[in-house]
Structure 1
Amino acid sequence: MNKPSQSFIQSLARGLTVLQAFSGEHPRLTLTTLSKNTGIKIAALQRYTATLMELGFLKRNKHREFFLGPKVLSLGFSFMNASQVRKQTEALIDEFSEKVNKTMNMAVLDQGYIFFIYRKEAQQFLNLDLKTGSRLPAHCTASGKLLLSSQEDSYLRDLIWTMDRPKLTESTITDPDELFSDLMETRDRGYSISNRELYLDLYSVAMPIIDQDKMVVASVNISISVREAHTPAAQAILDQFADLGRTLCGLLGYTGDYPRVFANPGSGEGF
């Protein structure tokens, strides 16, 4: 084994080793399991996990299991943003948006809000002043519900109870328990739907963008008017939209299962 250089910082390397121990197959780990999987002694591991929790890279649930915090997702987004993947992603979204004449967004979670990292506007059936960099409440948007559903249960419950949940339409879900149940259904389907929850004329579907570690790092959504949402034409668009989502994940190295989309979720399963 090559000897580390004098510039090598062992504590930083061990902290990164802790983060790398988590994956889609192992999303929650106890201190004992972390020690076994990383080879780091528990006494030292307690300091690393405490630091990572303070910085937002780790969270811990009531069962004393650690899981990755939202800050880690920003690393996946930073990679996508700084690499050729971002250009390829935007080009594919542009092409699909122009093909079906629908507005599309790519977003990340920012506590109780979503942040648009890319927006391609097409058909305008609503007069909205939204652009790349805009923020919207997460509880009533398709992208927000998708990204919330990917969070660990205990963190999600805490977030739901503390985040703003304005009632924007008669269909907006504001009750925390009802919202949690809706997000669990979203998780089971693998994609999310916002049906008149943000605007009465808006039906939106969001798909996950998953990286090679099986982490949801962003979402991509498509907007459809309510009056056309359940038509055969809309279903055909959603079938192609699911294919696009799968392709975007492939750019980040994910090749696993990916959901199919149904305009009416009761008509079939997501996966």
Structure 2
Amino acid sequence: MSERVPMNSTKKLFRIVEELRERNGARVSELATSLDLPKSTIHRHLKTLEKLEYAMKAGDIYHVGSQFLYVGTAVHNRESAYAHIEPRIKELASETEERVQFMIEEHGYMIYVHRETGAHAVQTNTQLGKQMPIHATSGGKAILAEMTDEEVSDIIERRGLPKITENTITDEGEFFDELQEIRENGVSYNDQEYIDGLRSVSVPVVKPSGRPLGAIGISGPLNRFKDDIYRQELPDKLLGVVNEVELNMKYS
């Protein structure tokens, strides 16, 4: 019982933080209604966050504090190889004028760590740190292709293969067939599997140990991502960048 109570309290605390972030600020009464928690509980947790400077109050509205921004930057420094990747992401975005991103796997989700938008990049609901369905993204599939079948099965067991669009692969056998194709070609595609009208192509980034670090991908609209651009030109650019990044990791 003594372990469960602190665990429940911690869960409530982070539910409040996530709701504050989702709402971009909220009053105690709004949080209590939304989370179905007593106002006294909400108020107590907010006061704790405010005292620790992880929340700030403007009038009667609470916001997520900038301390979370400071803590979040640690993700960018978690792997020394990230330093090799960020400048290449910027270069690719400038060169292609599309959206370019570096993604990792965490807890069975795909997470954006770096993202740059070129001059003609489309805007979507993707945000840094947001948990994305790993099976419906080219970056996620690229990372999974570098894992063992047992590891992939474990993620599927935990997260499933939910249908998001008409193109999302939801059959496990078909999904493993696609992963095998990615392993053979070194390139992963997402043909409107997460967002209708959006395509992406990604290439896995592998550590010298042979374990996946993440994936670098380029996303854009269907009308621009077609034919040789989608299947040859963009993959070639990504393969070249990833080859350089992997060499830097190996010899730096």
* CA positional deviation for 1:219: 0.8
* In structure 2, C-alpha distance between the alignment counterparts of 1:151 and 1:85, rounded to whole Å: 19
The TM-score normalised by the length of structure 1 is: 0.59
- Seen in structure 2, the aligned counterparts of structure 1 residues 123 and 130 have a Cα distance that, compared at 3 Å, is farther
Of 170, 177, 182, which aligns to 1:181?
Answer: 177
Structure (1 or 2) with the greater helix fraction: 2
The one-letter code matched in structure 2 to 1:249 is E
Structure 1 residue 251 and structure 2 residue 248: aligned?
Answer: yes
- Seen in structure 2, the aligned counterparts of structure 1 residues 79 and 153 have a Cα distance that, compared at 3 Å, is same
Structure 1 residue 227 and structure 2 residue 217: aligned?
Answer: no
Q: What is the match of residue 114 of structure 2? A: 118
* CA positional deviation for 1:224: 2.6
* In structure 2, C-alpha distance between the alignment counterparts of 1:88 and 1:128, rounded to whole Å: 26
Q: What is the match of residue 204 of structure 1? A: 200
Of 128, 135, 138, which aligns to 1:139?
Answer: 135
- Seen in structure 2, the aligned counterparts of structure 1 residues 156 and 251 have a Cα distance that, compared at 3 Å, is same
Q: What is the match of residue 233 of structure 2? A: 236
* CA positional deviation for 1:158: 3.1
The one-letter code matched in structure 1 to 2:236 is D
Aligned residues: 178
Of 80, 95, 107, which aligns to 2:91?
Answer: 95
Among the aligned pairs, what percent are the same residue?
Answer: 24
Equivalent pair of 1:112/1:139 in contact (CA under 8 Å)? no
Equivalent pair of 1:112/1:164 in contact (CA under 8 Å)? no
- Seen in structure 2, the aligned counterparts of structure 1 residues 213 and 169 have a Cα distance that, compared at 3 Å, is same
Unaligned 5+ runs, structure 2: 1-73
Q: What is the match of residue 54 of structure 1? A: none
* In structure 2, C-alpha distance between the alignment counterparts of 1:90 and 1:172, rounded to whole Å: 29
The TM-score normalised by the length of structure 2 is: 0.63
Q: Deviations over 1:121-164 (max 9, x none)?
A: 22556441323212210011001111111111123223223313
The one-letter code matched in structure 1 to 2:83 is K
Q: What is the match of residue 187 of structure 2? A: 191
Of 99, 104, 108, which aligns to 1:108?
Answer: 104
Q: Report the 3-state secondary structure (helix = DSSP H, G, I; strand = E; otherwise coil) of the residue aligned with 2:150.
A: helix
- Seen in structure 2, the aligned counterparts of structure 1 residues 213 and 147 have a Cα distance that, compared at 3 Å, is same
Q: Deviations over 1:43-69 (max 9, x none)?
A: xxxxxxxxxxxxxxxxxxxxxxxxxxx
* In structure 2, C-alpha distance between the alignment counterparts of 1:251 and 1:132, rounded to whole Å: 24
- Seen in structure 2, the aligned counterparts of structure 1 residues 149 and 88 have a Cα distance that, compared at 3 Å, is closer
Coordinate RMSD, CA, aligned: 2.5
Q: Report the 3-state secondary structure (helix = DSSP H, G, I; strand = E; otherwise coil) of the residue aligned with 1:167.
A: coil
The one-letter code matched in structure 1 to 2:150 is S
